[in-house]
Amino acid sequence: SVVGVDLQVVMRVMRRVQGGHGVEQCVVISGHGHRKDAVCCYVTPRGVDTAALAATLRVNLHDYLLPLEIVTLDSLPNDPGGLPLPALKGLLHEHIAPCTGTETVIQDIWTFVLGGDPPSVCADFFERGGTSLLAGRLIARVRGSLAVPLTAANIFQCRTIRALAARADELGARVPAEYRRLAAPSPESPEPCGARGASPS
């Protein structure tokens, strides 16, 4: 079942969820609850391993298609209006550390431009407080640091560090020597390269 605003987005999510990790039934809703842009998955039965399911979705879907929450239920109500509101804890959007030199360069520049702690490579630039003016500053610094012909339009098309880094690599990014040797991913950043290596349908 699909209810929501962007049917193409939620239907693509559903195709990845249905039948995997013991999922028997699934409904995907966009614009449910307090976040009108949020996509939420409801699955049965209650014993579904949501962590494993979340990992599968991260590997197989673009960042912008990831549900903000997976909710397990004993059964789905006949009326979608009877679904509980999600907690919106961001199950699929926990902090994911950089796994390439390009991602690390962009993360450092992002942190300089926006301030605060280093963001997840799957965080959305504009959801984290980015503006058109700040986007221009970000792209200018990335262009200079990586010697790559990015334009301001790229940040609107590639709103996460991971997506922007992938685009920069496609354009021949030159990673500074100090960024070429990366430490192994920490336990707090599971499968950091999964989304980047996927081939979303």
- Model confidence at 180, pLDDT cuts 50, 70, 90, reads confident
Q: Give whole-number Cα distances, 137 to 92, 144, 169, in Å.
A: 29, 11, 19
Q: Is the pLDDT of residue 171 over 70?
A: yes
Range of the domain at 142: 101-180+187-196
Residue 177 φ/ψ, nearest 5 degrees: -55, -40
Q: What is the mean pLDDT of the segment spanning 83-105? A: 73
Digit-coded pLDDT (tens) for 149-164: 999 889 888 888 988 9
Among 89-93, 179-183, 196-200, the least confident range? 196-200
Please determine, for residue 148, whether its predicted confidence score (pLDDT) is greater than 50. yes
pLDDT at 112: 93
The residue-averaged pLDDT of 122-147 equals: 88
Least confident residue range of 85-89, 136-140, 159-163:
85-89
Mark whether 77 and 20 lie in a shared domain. yes
CATH number at residue 42: 3.30.300.30
Q: Categorize the per-residue pLDDT at 192 as very low, low, confident or very high, splitting at 50, 70 and 90.
A: very low
Q: Of 30, 57, 92, which closes a domain? A: 92
pLDDT at 52 over 60: yes
CA distance 56 to 143: 33
Q: How many domains does the chain have?
A: 2
CATH number of the domain encompassing residue 108: 1.10.1200.10
- Do residues 67 and 23 both lie within one domain? yes
For the beta carbon of residue 129, count every other beta carbon within 10 angstroms: 11
What is residue 125's predicted lDDT score, i.e. its pLDDT?
86
DSSP-derived letter for residue 42 is: E
Task: Determine if the pTM surpasses 0.75.
Answer: no
At residue 177, the pLDDT reads: 85
Residue 72, SS3? strand
86 and 30 belong to one structural domain: yes
What's the CA gap between 199 and 201, in Å, rounded?
6
Note whether 82 and 117 are same-domain residues.
no
Residue from 127, 118, 59, 52 nearest 91 by CA: 52
Q: Lowest-pLDDT range, 55-59, 74-78, 105-109, 163-167? A: 55-59
What pLDDT, on a 0 to 100 scale, did the predictor assign at position 27?
84
Residues 75 and 145 in one domain: no
- Tell me what the mean pLDDT of segment 45-62 comes to: 78
More confident residue, 34 or 126: 126
**90-123: buried (b, 16+ CB within 10 Å) or exposed (e) per residue?**
ebbbebbbbbbbbbbbbbebbeebbeeeebbbbb
In a domain, 51, yes or no: yes
Q: Is residue 201, in this structure, part of any structural domain at all?
A: no
184 confidence band (pLDDT: 50, 70, 90): very low
Is there a single domain that holds both residue 28 and residue 70?
A: yes
